[in-house]
Amino acid sequence: MALPIYDRLEEQRRRMVETQIRARGVRDARVLAAMTHVPREEFVPVELREQAFTDHPLPIESGQTISQPFTVAFMAEALQLKGTEKVLEIGTGSGYAAAVLSRLAGEVHTIERIPELARTAQATLKRLDYCNVHVHTGDGTLGLPQEAPFDAIVVTASGDHLPAPFKSQLAAGGRIVMPVGDEGSQRMFLWTSMPDGLAAEDLGRFIFVPLIGVHGRRRFNDAPDD
């Protein structure tokens, strides 16, 4: 007899975590648990729900994508969250990564430049009862000074440098995870706030869409139509 759809989806999430995330080196038990429990299928278009657990990005509205599960887990683990932190996410997208972060931190603020995406993500997060996530619309490269400082900042698009607002809005001892580079060659970096400045660690090669905004690779008016 076939499993009920809820049980089948939960089993697919568990398999996703084991084969795509744990098997590729993510070891943080809290990250693995969050990836298991957050229903990724709720953050993709209904017609793509059966593909929600595949190891690649998927299209969402406004011409954007939801990152592959491994990338979300990798970045979350790199932040080294313990459960009480205040986190800033740049690039809300579907809201999926913010939902994962909400299970790892005390409070999550996420910024999306596309109003339609921000509204959809906010509605999904509210429907699924992720009460500690706050969605903002605007230029993410400016950060969120009114809510700073942040214990962790995660950027889901690539820039050619680390924007100054992120540095100034990071709490002492805080961490920033962001891909840096051009469209052909990007490296993920972890910056940790130290008494004498930011210490950088290269986490490897990734591919992301460009960071758009005042401090991004492109400004809003230079971005292609969505």
The residues annotated as belonging to the active site are: 67
Going from the C-alpha of 9 to that of each of 6, 37, 51, the distances in angstroms are 5, 11, 11
- C-beta atoms surrounding 193 within 10 Å: 18
- Number of Cβ within a 10 Å radius of residue 207: 13
d(CA 142, CA 135): 15
Residues contacting 130, CB < 8 A, separation 6+: 95, 98, 99, 102
